[in-house]
Amino acid sequence: MPFATIRKLPAAGERQPGLPEYETSRRGFRWEQARRELSFLPGGALNIAHEAVVRHARGGRGGQLALRWLGKDGACRDFSYRDLDEATGRFANLLRRLGIGRGEAVFSLLGRQPALYIAALGALRAGCVFSPLFAAFGPEPVLARVSRGHGRVLVTTEALYRKKVAPIMDRLPELRHILLVGGVAGNEGEESRLIDHDAALAREDAHFETAATQPQEPALLHFTSGTTGRPKGAIHVHEAVVAHHITGRYALDLRAGDVFWCTADPGWVTGTSYGIIAPLSIGATLIVDEAEYEPERWFDILTRERVNVWYTAPTAIRMMMKLGAKPAGGRTFPDLRFMASVGEPLNPEAVVWGLGAFGLPFHDNWWQTETGGIMIANYASMDIKPGSMGRPLPGIEAAIVTRSGDGHVAELNAPDTIGELALRAGWPSMFRGYLEEDERYRKCFDDGWYLTGDLATRDADGYFWFVGRSDDVIKSAGHLIGPFEVESALMEHDAVAEAAVIGLPDAIAGEIVKAYVVLKAGRLEDDALRKDILAHARRRLGPAVAPREVMFRRDLPRTRSGKIMRRLLKARELGLPEGDLSTLEGGAT
């Protein structure tokens, strides 16, 4: 039984939603209109950090709260737009002093702390390319990304450095400087590349003339996972801010002066596009919580900080749903105006549950690292069909297609037909390449369409519905995990001959990672070894990526061409039909 449509929110007083009426806004929309909402720099230059910080700091919002940081232990630090202008100016000056040039890559490996936000915006001001990494990554994912991205500077803490970076330092010859937030507690002499971040910044001037970057100049590098090969580095340009800004207004209903809380970590594209850039470019106040999900803490933040717009993810929503229909007890959320969710399919039950728990439905929206910004959404001014991702943003043409293989795609226009979700190429936040992988990038496009790798349907009213991924990539608690990266780390264990990794459905995390392992001859399949392999994977990959379960097998099913048939492992695990086995190599069971 499908869930009933939830009627659009009534407009609060005189205030119209950012996207007042879907059809008319969409028809009349031109990207030019979105560009006009930004300031630009002289000569048509465009810099994300100028739009997010400097223009507000120097244009009447200097004293307004831009970022409120809530520490794990109850600490709180406030930054006005002027404070951010100065702090990011210092960081940009430091990069200059260190000889880091335009287009060179600055990485961060930090929890959600102010230094991360300052490094991101400071690097952009200097015209560098910024790439945020999850603090939960182990040494292998850090090495793969920093070396791939030719990182010149890494901003981290001493604790994270010791655990995750020190073991791989000799394999990062291009990395010139490591800035340690919170200082270097002695042993400076041990590694000449270490710099005390806090002391170095304190010596810099707060004034910096933001680099006059061109709209098509690279700005951000976000790594994402594919089924095969190493992680892909999706390159985004400064022009992306045009899409961040307008989608923040339309899809998240954000306005200047709003208090906005995006629970995503900047290590994931959402935490950068919407956890930093969109709200600041709009002139909102950003709440940054250092802690991980903890329901009481979250309800407190929503009420105490008077959050107006909240952007979170299905895994967290499902965890809250476990607490019942009214998890926040008698609390009310009078300031909360709009709630949105992204990253995984949002169960229709969750959309409806939001109404009882918070007095508002969750608005699901869809996008991915490559699209740089929200592409399909449920808007404040539109009825919600629970379980649907919504309709394409103004300026975005989405379709359900099938690839013909000869460089053409055919649109599947009949309602409710399953096909690949495609977007007409050319929106401002579209990725401009996979780092050093032109062929892989080219393969994402056909006939002027960008092919997303997701399967979906569109109904007769133009709403899109997620069906699944067309590849073996795993989505666990919002993290996209490439099986290949996990298999490679498993195979570094001295007992492992072969490994295959799949995602299994999980009520809370969406999927969990399960590994099948074939041992080397002579190694005994016992529990101690299984635990040792699990511990090895956690050490190498970090808890966000490592498998939850390891199972021994005598062999792995492969195609005749040698590819592991992960799909078959999954079908067998779940007792599903095994599908076409014509390419299965003989022998494997």
Kindly state the smallest distance separating residue 351's Cβ from ligand AMP, in Å. Answer: 11
* SS3 annotation, 484-518: HHHHHHHHCCCCEEEEEEEEEEECCCEEEEEEEEE
Binding span for ligand AMP by CB under 6 A among 4-12, 163-171, 364-372, 407-415: 364-372
Q: Tell me the site size for ligand AMP, rule CB under 6 A.
A: 19
Q: Helix (H, G, I), strand (E, B), or coil: what is residue 17?
A: coil
Check: CB of residue 315 under 8 Å from CB of residue 263. Answer: no
- Note whether 366 binds ligand AMP by CB under 6 A: yes
Using the rule CB under 6 A, which residue among 48, 143, 269, 423 binds ligand AMP?
Answer: 269
- Note whether 271 binds ligand AMP by CB under 6 A: no
- Note whether 353 binds ligand AMP by CB under 6 A: no
Sign of CA dihedral 543, 545, 548, 551: negative
- Note whether 342 binds ligand AMP by CB under 6 A: yes
Q: Which contiguous run of DSSP H or E holds residue 27?
A: helix 22-28
Binding span for ligand AMP by CB under 6 A among 32-40, 317-325, 360-368, 545-553: 360-368
Q: Which is nearer to ligand AMP, 480 or 489 (CB)?
A: 480
Using the rule CB under 6 A, which residue among 368, 381, 388, 429 binds ligand AMP?
Answer: 368
Using the rule CB under 6 A, which residue among 51, 204, 289, 454 binds ligand AMP?
Answer: 454
Give CA–CA dist 148/164, Å, rounded: 17
Q: Which is nearer to ligand AMP, 53 or 480 (CB)?
A: 480
Q: Which is nearer to ligand AMP, 261 or 366 (CB)?
A: 366
Binding span for ligand AMP by CB under 6 A among 141-149, 358-366, 400-408, 426-434: 358-366
Binding span for ligand AMP by CB under 6 A among 150-158, 165-173, 338-346, 355-363: 338-346
499, 501, 502, 487: which is closest to 540 by C-alpha? 487
* β-pair partners for 552: 517
Kindly state the smallest distance separating residue 327's Cβ from ligand AMP, in Å. Answer: 22
Kindly state the smallest distance separating residue 225's Cβ from ligand AMP, in Å. Answer: 8
- Note whether 434 binds ligand AMP by CB under 6 A: no
Q: Which is nearer to ligand AMP, 208 or 484 (CB)?
A: 484
Kindly state the smallest distance separating residue 307's Cβ from ligand AMP, in Å. Answer: 21
Give CA–CA dist 505/501, Å, rounded: 13
- Note whether 8 binds ligand AMP by CB under 6 A: no
| Residue 525, token pair as written in the block | 């399949």
- Note whether 363 binds ligand AMP by CB under 6 A: no
Q: Which is nearer to ligand AMP, 22 or 466 (CB)?
A: 466
The 211-240 contact track toward ligand AMP, x by CB under 6 A, reads -------------x----------------
559, 493, 484, 577: which is closest to 530 by C-alpha? 493
- Note whether 480 binds ligand AMP by CB under 6 A: yes
Binding span for ligand AMP by CB under 6 A among 75-83, 320-328, 363-371, 397-405: 363-371
Give CA–CA dist 340/363, Å, rounded: 4
- Note whether 369 binds ligand AMP by CB under 6 A: yes
In angstroms, what is the C-alpha Rg of the chain? 24
Using the rule CB under 6 A, which residue among 176, 432, 469, 548 binds ligand AMP?
Answer: 469
Query: Helices (DSSP H) in 322-474: which residue ranges?
Result: 348-358, 438-442
Sign of CA dihedral 106, 109, 112, 115: negative
Distance of CA 267 to the CA centre of its chain: 6
Using the rule CB under 6 A, which residue among 289, 305, 344, 511 binds ligand AMP?
Answer: 344
Kindly state the smallest distance separating residue 313's Cβ from ligand AMP, in Å. Answer: 9
Which residues within the stretch 374-393 sit at the binding site for ligand AMP (CB under 6 A)? 389
Kindly state the smallest distance separating residue 383's Cβ from ligand AMP, in Å. Answer: 17
* SS3 annotation, 125-168: HCCCEEEEECCCCCHHHHHHHHHHCCEEEEEEEHHHHHHHHHHH
Q: Which is nearer to ligand AMP, 356 or 468 (CB)?
A: 468
Q: Which contiguous run of DSSP H or E holds residue 528?
A: helix 527-541
| Residue 150, token pair as written in the block | 């030719």
Check: CB of residue 249 under 8 Å from CB of residue 258. Answer: no
Using the rule CB under 6 A, which residue among 305, 364, 472, 487 binds ligand AMP?
Answer: 364
Check: CB of residue 475 under 8 Å from CB of residue 344. Answer: yes
Give CA–CA dist 299/333, Å, rounded: 9
- Note whether 47 binds ligand AMP by CB under 6 A: no
Binding span for ligand AMP by CB under 6 A among 59-67, 117-125, 343-351, 517-525: 343-351
| Residue 235, token pair as written in the block | 């390159």
**Cβ density class 158-171: b for 16+ within 10 Å, e for less:** bebbeebbbbbbee
* SS3 annotation, 421-443: EEEECCCCCCCCEECCCHHHHHC
Q: Which is nearer to ligand AMP, 79 or 431 (CB)?
A: 431
Contacts of 485 (CB under 8 A, 6+ apart): 140, 141, 144, 225, 230, 231, 541, 545
Q: Which is nearer to ligand AMP, 200 or 480 (CB)?
A: 480
Q: Which is nearer to ligand AMP, 108 or 365 (CB)?
A: 365
Q: Which is nearer to ligand AMP, 251 or 490 (CB)?
A: 251
Q: Which is nearer to ligand AMP, 283 or 372 (CB)?
A: 372
Q: Helix (H, G, I), strand (E, B), or coil: what is residue 446?
A: strand
* β-pair partners for 466: 456
Q: Helix (H, G, I), strand (E, B), or coil: what is residue 377?
A: strand
Using the rule CB under 6 A, which residue among 90, 245, 337, 475 binds ligand AMP?
Answer: 475
Binding span for ligand AMP by CB under 6 A among 166-174, 210-218, 284-292, 344-352: 344-352
Binding site for ligand AMP (CB under 6 A): 224, 269, 342-346, 364-366, 368-369, 389, 452, 454, 466, 469, 475, 480
